[in-house]
Chain A
């Protein structure tokens, strides 16, 4: 006996504009276009694996962006095209002029400023989506006749579907943290604010409490989409971004800048989820992982955990210099520019170790001139770069490239460290902690375990330093200054190099 087939359920009526989550259903060519844009962005990063392919990669990035923008404009009914064109023109002009005028030494500040703009843009987009959910296709599509109008507050007649509310909340929160954090990072890097960490009492409790509150509110947002919930999430996120970065000292900025880079990616990804847009999701994921990996590389190069950097406070009493306080009176050898010029012109190989001090003094051009003169004398000249030299990843490489130093003369720590033992002169300009042998030997030192450049193995070490007083950012005295094979060149980095150039010429 066979049962008659059960009556088929009545067809579920789904409005044709939305899919199950409520995203606007896009024609397949649009999905394809966004996918191509995403792939272009992958190529943009892929190109950076070597300087030869990098410029082509950058052009891929531009093409990807153009595809994403044009596709978006093509599929939306545009109320007023003129406004949009004007907005792009204003932004484009500001961007191009800034990019052309900015000094290479100011690159860390510029990157921080750019991060803040991405963060703020994410907040604005999130707010716009909250105010006009229909345009973003995130209105809850209901299949039954439960009559959602009964549950929606009058001020906000269209209910946003719950998944999108979480995405919106997260996107706005990450965007706001990126914005206020980057503004603080910018002010510190640009010198408008002291690079010293500002330590509030109970800051960890405060930050964790705020974070829990924000997450709780995002959860609550799924049940109540009132305006106060949304704006409180936004405001609290601005506050926490500010609180997270103020306790972090200037020298930890490479990690902070990388971390904010990562956040700006996650913010874009969260907005991509809201819009169901593959280009945004792929890009967000790429940028997010990129920043995370850079943060990891920077932390490893300082032998510190990510958490300890974020907790902040490192280098807080650098000026007090507990360890180095009494050591200033120790005897050291002081040399002149002529001595340095003589030593280097007699050498077979010179390795130059640049640090943040070179950037501050803008000494890279004079340095390259010195390198050229030495090469003319038959000296082999190489550059050794520690991963955390400077204020952002790769900072020194860009400055040397700006001064026309060929990139195949510039080496990373692990590639050149074995060469110091076979080198006549190590020329340290504006670097300190990254050369400190205490990191290898002194277990009590705050920088113990950090990988350092083995400059002390060179026959002679020349150290350009402004004065003997100041210690490095870690507040540690450098044993190297007082060794027999070290000669201190006490002067402004640029002036000293220029004098050396004069005596060589």
Chain B
């Protein structure tokens, strides 16, 4: 062939070119194709002679249907067999010519480069898969212990509780917090601390069955989920004890012998009411906290009723806040009198809650629920302001009568209490400070006697009167009394109630009166419900008192009238 006179030919093509007939026999193969596959001639050979078996399947499954349907297909990668039995990778474009006896035209090029790229893609994919698996494992595994982490155990619990096939399952959740782990970190360093946490995890895991789960919840906290059969329900206490107490044995870590104990909270599933997975963990956590408070190295079971009470407290707190805002609270005043003359010597302000749904509530209905919470301070402030306003109003109208208010220990220990009290007093500059008396619970005063003594002293410097309420119910020592130096001691109603039948109470009342004399305080009895009690108290030397026999607490607007009526001719002082 004269190359210069033949500008183009299939044989000059830098790619393979084949023509096959409808029966898949090769009618033509160009030089590139022959050379590439190592054949001298392919005319008349079956197409499948140059196809690997895998390519035959691909042809039958994919290419043939596509050619019949679409007439063509592009960029199909196949492997072809060379004359000496090697495989060559090619990329083909294929056309079926319906107008030319359904002959099929093939072009192909070497795909070895593409194979290399593909191989790199496979490796990249494998790396990516490996990385993804690693990341997935990391998100659910704790690095330090290799145990499932917080996320993992929460998810597991959620899945387990939502799995309809496991609706009848029972399990116990143990929340463990190590006692004394901080000391290990501080004394031996964090590396030893981490190894110790791992050792704890391993010890916990060893004691469990395949159906149980132990996870590190965070810090030195672990969660264990114990599967239970109905038979095991009774044995769960022993199981929990065995698991938790095994942590009491010393650990050998990095050549050190380390010891801790564990506080554990336990709850169980199912419960009478529906519970959420997070709620279960919270229950176990709360029980663990109770175990800590009770002195550590203990196991506490969660009491579902306690949670109900807590929820009620929480709701009540919110209602009290709203109540303050919407003026639902009122003060009633119980007169105190001189037991000899009957003259009113003061009134005690007592809070009442005009609840929009539950009617008039007494302090016992709500004060316990807000104890030691911020709202208790808010309510205390409200009482002070309201009582001062009332006292000032009476003072303005010529009625000079001290008003006492009850102040909780929580209020007293608030560092800002004195400032707020002073601000409230400053609103009424004409009102003598001696018109306000603070009644403090003896028990609350004892708890933090040193600080409280300072606050009491400051109040007295302001000119306020201070009394110790419920005196005799706490465990005041003489030295306490000396340090506190109050103005008035109040004899608790519990002693007054039985004083006529119980000699011991008489002895206590006598003792209180004795204390009052010794420390130069006044004394007043509360809870006087009968004339006989009043007389008995007088005989013992107590000259002041309050109680239902004298008057129930009455609205502020009625106080003036009550005082006046005491001395009207129709009012009898005694039966």
- Tell me, yes or no, whether A binds B: no
Q: Which residues on B are within 8 Å of A, measured CB to CB?
A: none
